[in-house]
Structure 1
């Protein structure tokens, strides 16, 4: 059986001969520290090209006394999720986990790439009620990397993990204490990444400027969302929205800062991301509309709901949602999708730069995105065509995302103010677009109901009129923002 959990942890590097700082001051009065020794080991699996590691994903069989089994770690949204499967067999990756990473592995087979043996001293920080505040693991790691000639290395690292419900401020306090003692935040994304560092594997990035770092880090964050979405989809979960947001932010970066990237590579990737986003969008539209229409029907007077309106909406849209989800799953198994994942993997650490990414270039592109959003909004509110407002909405999104990306360059306060402004525009224009699309769907459902014995389109007509009114209100709100 597979289980998963979210973790909030931070890792530090510490010299072999440096004493661990006193942890007593981190617990409240009446609390205590519980220490124990262990000797865990882990065998890691990846493709020959280390595709999992490229996406900061690790797959390993762990042996730790009472905790023996497989663990797949997937990072996303400044956190990570561990997917675990108990098993004593460490020589064959379970089919369930192989399936989850098949997209990230680009269809290539998995094999043993490294073995890590650890001498661990664990300190559990408990409050007076015996609730776990944090767990501090002091590890001496011995690593053997597989290859034509095995590479052996040894180092010390400190892993701090918060207990359930504990505020992240404790991590800051612990970090301050450790850095004063000589520790430094680990530059490696995982213990496995550290093991491969001596093998000259380019898992890190050296930045030429703060602007280049801001762009690369932003793109990497979006790739995390896309990659995590791949795994969650294969688990039968619902990452559609977060995956699409990651794609939108990535595409926005390609467009707003297009002069900084190789034009051919950026145009091709933009088209491929658009293709995949379109497939996911069909699923997401049905999800949103099912909830939207169910609430709308519930809000109508009972006497005006003639026929099985709610059942018609749920049955038709759910069937369409399942059909389009099937299309999404088919896409995950395609060569085109594997090529897309390989491409974003390359972009996350080494975007194809066309010119130097300077602070001034990022600032200039961000301001241009803002001016374009303002111009499109002004033109759209004077244009009766709904498509004009939709184009203005997309421009506002790009201006918002650009401001968020450029925060290290513009300054957090200024960037937040810009992002907030365009987020408000995006929200109002999004309400307009949702109503326009909803009205079109209701028209189709109403016509279908009107031609079916035992049903009629009356309630659908009412809902259609309500969506039109909502669209007009959103248009009026947008007009006020434009002045």
Structure 2
């Protein structure tokens, strides 16, 4: 599989216009070569065009230097192109699974079928800069296309493409080439195309006549003082968007994407609970609310898988740092390899579970249910809608009291001569969960209520980070302890394991002290929030 960033500009060119002198473009000194290709591309999408509606293209193309399957995903600077070999499809019309996974959250259980066929007679020129290296590629395309959906038509057009090489993409030189190229092409009657892709142009009117999947409504910006209900819906739409945006990266094991997905999952669960609470005494609800509540349980299971993967990543990173920082000279040759192998194996297994969870029917059902509700949401009576603020405040109070009580229990365990590290670590883990709930509720308070939730959100987030470090230290120490016991059974000297174990236990104690210091700032932020409620 190949991946690269595609940055290009497409121009609508008159059929009989001659290609201008390409060395008139800034940074272009020489046209190195021009090759001719006859390209044939078959584009795939769901029958309701879910990919095209998200500005995503998926094709199988032959006839050029990049024969293969191509998936193009939109981005801020350009499109990310992911490629797969032709032989990854047994019959030429079954999309390779490696590409399907990248868009599973969008296509879900819908089949991917041919929706357009595009034949392209291309003349491609390599454009060199002053140093003799390729700067861009210019393509003169004469296109014949047919939409394969019901009511589709055939169309023909000519277009030019100016595509930057990977070395110039995203650079000042590259931006200058595109700006200058636009001016040069405009001088001979070519204008920037108003069609986002060959696929959209090939589909033509079928983009409007194809079935439309449920899509979230764009709600007006809410006024928290007036009616927080619209804010709940807006927040759900945005959290859903972040979940989908993180999905491809989470499937490939990118730690930041999994963390983003975890945050979005927690927020969606809280919003579903808040949304459903507004219908307790209302007759405006329907069976979709029951589906959403079931989805909250499904999301809880997904969150556990994501949390495990995130923890596995942090433990692996911590173990490597611990080994790198060791200056004692007492850690033998046996320990480093076996410890890193243990954390790496756990990381691999946890990432596999993430992929399995994201491929599951439960996850795809959650996405379908969210879309169905957000396309046409039920609305409780106004008297019920305004209770959202009180529900958020109640959740914050519950989470803070839970954290406070757990902290008290932790202090008692520390002072108790019979208290064990395992009991203390368990309490810190429960404190982490309570503080995560507090942080999520404070986020909703900031967004959906007139109260001062931003400081509490910030301080709870910092406390979550510190408590997370304590959990990582505890998990890292546990890995060392297990590997030490295994080494002892093999008759290996475990003194070095003991050195590392004691170092990580010391770190747990240090982080625990940091958490207690951070607790004071969280308490002050909570009191500030309560004062804003009182007026």
Instruction: State TM-score, norm by structure 1.
Output: 0.69
The answer for unaligned runs of 5 or more in structure 1 is 233-237, 407-417
- 1:198 and 2:202 correspond: no
Q: Give the secondary-structure state (helix, strand or coil) at the position aligned to 1:225.
A: helix
Q: Name which of 334, 342, 347 aligns with 1:316.
A: 342
Deviates more, 1:439-448 or 1:456-465: 439-448
Q: Name which of 222, 225, 229 aligns with 2:246.
A: 225
Cα drift, residue 438 of structure 1? 2.5
Q: Name which of 245, 261, 269 aligns with 2:260.
A: 245
Q: How many residues align?
A: 454
Question: Once the two structures are superposed, what CA deviation does each residue of 1:64-111 show, in whole Å capped at 9, x if it has no partner?
Answer: 443333223345787543233454999933878245416825566654
Q: Provide the aligned C-alpha RMSD in A.
A: 5.4
| Residues 136/272 of structure 1: CA separation in 2 closer, same or farther (3 Å cut) | farther
| Residues 278/464 of structure 1: CA separation in 2 closer, same or farther (3 Å cut) | same
Cα drift, residue 136 of structure 1? 5.8
- Partners of 1:78 and 1:370 lie apart in 2 by 41
Bigger radius of gyration, 1 or 2? 2
| Residues 31/365 of structure 1: CA separation in 2 closer, same or farther (3 Å cut) | farther
Question: Once the two structures are superposed, what CA deviation does each residue of 1:433-456 show, in whole Å capped at 9, x if it has no partner?
Answer: 222343155246426635733336
Question: Once the two structures are superposed, what CA deviation does each residue of 1:368-417 show, in whole Å capped at 9, x if it has no partner?
Answer: 989988997899589445444553345446766998x99xxxxxxxxxxx
- 1:392 and 2:460 correspond: no
- 1:431 and 2:466 correspond: yes
Specify the alignment match of 1:473 in structure 2: 514
Specify the alignment match of 2:498 in structure 1: 458
Cα drift, residue 309 of structure 1? 4.0
Q: Is the 8 A contact 1:77 1:225 kept in 2?
A: no
Q: Name which of 364, 377, 381 aligns with 1:353.
A: 377
Deviates more, 1:269-278 or 1:163-172: 163-172
Deviates more, 1:200-209 or 1:314-323: 200-209
Cα drift, residue 226 of structure 1? 0.8
Q: Give the secondary-structure state (helix, strand or coil) at the position aligned to 2:130.
A: coil
Q: Give the secondary-structure state (helix, strand or coil) at the position aligned to 1:353.
A: coil
- Partners of 1:388 and 1:111 lie apart in 2 by 49
Q: Is the 8 A contact 2:71 2:82 kept in 1?
A: yes
- Partners of 2:275 and 2:138 lie apart in 1 by 43
- Partners of 1:270 and 1:224 lie apart in 2 by 20
- Partners of 1:156 and 1:427 lie apart in 2 by 56
| Residues 133/377 of structure 1: CA separation in 2 closer, same or farther (3 Å cut) | farther
Cα drift, residue 198 of structure 1? 1.3
The answer for unaligned runs of 5 or more in structure 2 is 223-232, 277-287, 411-427, 449-453, 525-535
- Partners of 1:18 and 1:216 lie apart in 2 by 47
Q: Is the 8 A contact 2:319 2:343 kept in 1?
A: no
Q: Is the 8 A contact 2:305 2:353 kept in 1?
A: yes
- Partners of 2:376 and 2:522 lie apart in 1 by 38
- Partners of 1:478 and 1:48 lie apart in 2 by 54
- 1:276 and 2:293 correspond: no
